[in-house]
Amino acid sequence: MRNPVQEYLEQIVAQGGDAGGEVAPYIPELAAADPDRFALCLATVDGQVYEVGESEHRYSIQSMSKPFTYALGLHDQGIEAVARKVDVEPSGEAFNEISVSPDTGRPKNPMINAGAITASSLVAGDSGDERFARALEWYSRFAGRELELDPSIYTSELETAHRNRAIAHMLREFGILDGDPEEVLDQYIRQCSVAVDTRDLALMAATLANGGVQPRTGEQVLEPALVEHVLSVMTTCGMYDAAGDWVTAVGIPAKSGVSGGIIGVLPGQVGIAVFSPRLDPHGNSARGVALLERMSTDMELHLMHVS
């Protein structure tokens, strides 16, 4: 007999189809991506993975790295030290907005670029190289396999990173970054260029769902108190200026990336990852959002659901 979860996932994918949108235009390597690629994976907290589509096709993690880097900053420095540099308030603004609090200079949250660049600087290490190596190893522990950088994405993004460069220098001016902002920018772009597939992302999400324990390796990667903190920030800030729509319609902590992935976490139960490169005007995968809305309704995933 076929597994009912597998059957359900195949059914909603077949019924879903194209949801419109455009691939990210501002990073040449992403603009060249095949817009029709697709994958959906669901990983349970006991390590079972269900897959539909091209689940082993690799692409860059982009902003889906942000919750994991923030988690590493919290792990290395503690909640209070991190809070002095980056706040936890939803910004209601686009992911790449040049935005900080007027009083403290702190970025509003670690899910938008300004806050994420700050979080990269809070990873332990004496140089960008050391901090990136530590972050890469950290993501790999969540995925349960050794991840690598995609050099072509890195080069492409570095050459066109005018806006993120401006943000990094602004953060240096406000005393939020110390040292050379170019070094942190380079580290941040490398972090965004780590290659993952949709299975990896589902397992990374499932590690958060499982209280910080990787479901397959059994390793406690992140402390449960920090899992709670990271999931809270993903819930309120993970989908940028669509965060309110997301919380009402889907109702689970999530994070999107401009490569077209979205991860979602249902605490205690599953990690979900979906990949479809066409983005809506907020920079979130259009087909991914539509599918997660459907799954939330059908499977009653919404955290505030009352039956």
With 0-12 / 13-18 / 19 or more C-beta atoms within 10 angstroms meaning exposed / middle / buried, residue 211 is: middle
Residue 275, Ramachandran bin (φ over 0: left; ψ between -120 and 50: alpha; else beta): beta
Instruction: Catalytic residue, from 55, 63, 91, 285: name it.
Output: 63
Minimum CB distance to ligand GLN, residue 287 (Å): 16
Distances in Å between the Cα of 118 and the Cα atoms of 4, 24, 77, 106, 171 are 43, 23, 13, 9, 8
Instruction: Catalytic residue, from 258, 265, 274, 289: name it.
Output: 258
Return the residues of window 218-247 that contact ligand GLN according to CB under 6 A.
Answer: none
- Which residues touch 273 (CB under 8 Å, ≥6 apart)? 39, 40, 41, 43, 198, 199, 200, 201, 202, 204, 205, 261, 262, 263, 264
Would you say 13 or 24 has its CB closer to ligand GLN?
Answer: 24
Q: Is 232 a catalytic residue?
A: no
Which single residue brings its beta carbon nearest to ligand GLN?
A: 63
By CB under 6 A, name the one of 49, 71, 88, 192 that touches ligand GLN: 192
Residues binding ligand GLN: number (CB under 6 A)? 11
CA dist 73 and 88 (Å) reads 14
CA dist 110 and 120 (Å) reads 9
| One-letter identity of residue 45 | V
Minimum CB distance to ligand GLN, residue 294 (Å): 23
CB 42 within 8 A of CB 32: no
194 is written with which tokens?
């780590």
Q: Is 258 a catalytic residue?
A: yes
Minimum CB distance to ligand GLN, residue 4 (Å): 34
Residues 6-45 as x/- pattern, contact with ligand GLN by CB under 6 A = ----------------------------------------
Neighbours of 298 (CB within 10 A): 11
Return the residues of window 249-278 that contact ligand GLN according to CB under 6 A.
Answer: 257-258
Instruction: Catalytic residue, from 188, 193, 256, 285: name it.
Output: 188
Q: Is 154 a catalytic residue?
A: no
Q: Is 85 a catalytic residue?
A: no
Distance of CA 205 to the CA centre of its chain: 9
Neighbours of 113 (CB within 10 A): 25
- 258 carries a ligand binding annotation: yes
By CB under 6 A, name the one of 44, 55, 91, 96 that touches ligand GLN: 96
Residues 139-178 as x/- pattern, contact with ligand GLN by CB under 6 A = ------------------x------x--------------
Instruction: Catalytic residue, from 23, 66, 120, 296: name it.
Output: 66
Under the binding rule (CB under 6 A), the answer on residue 283 touching ligand GLN is: yes
- Which residues touch 114 (CB under 8 Å, ≥6 apart)? 97, 98, 99, 100, 107, 108, 167, 170, 171
Q: Is 120 a catalytic residue?
A: no
Which residue carries 């995609």 as its tokens? 150
**Which residues form the catalytic set?**
63, 66, 188, 240, 258
Binding residues for substrate: 63, 113, 157, 164, 188, 240, 258
Question: Residues interacting with ligand GLN, by CB under 6 A?
Answer: 62-63, 95-96, 113, 157, 164, 192, 257-258, 283
Binding residues: 63, 113, 157, 164, 188, 240, 258
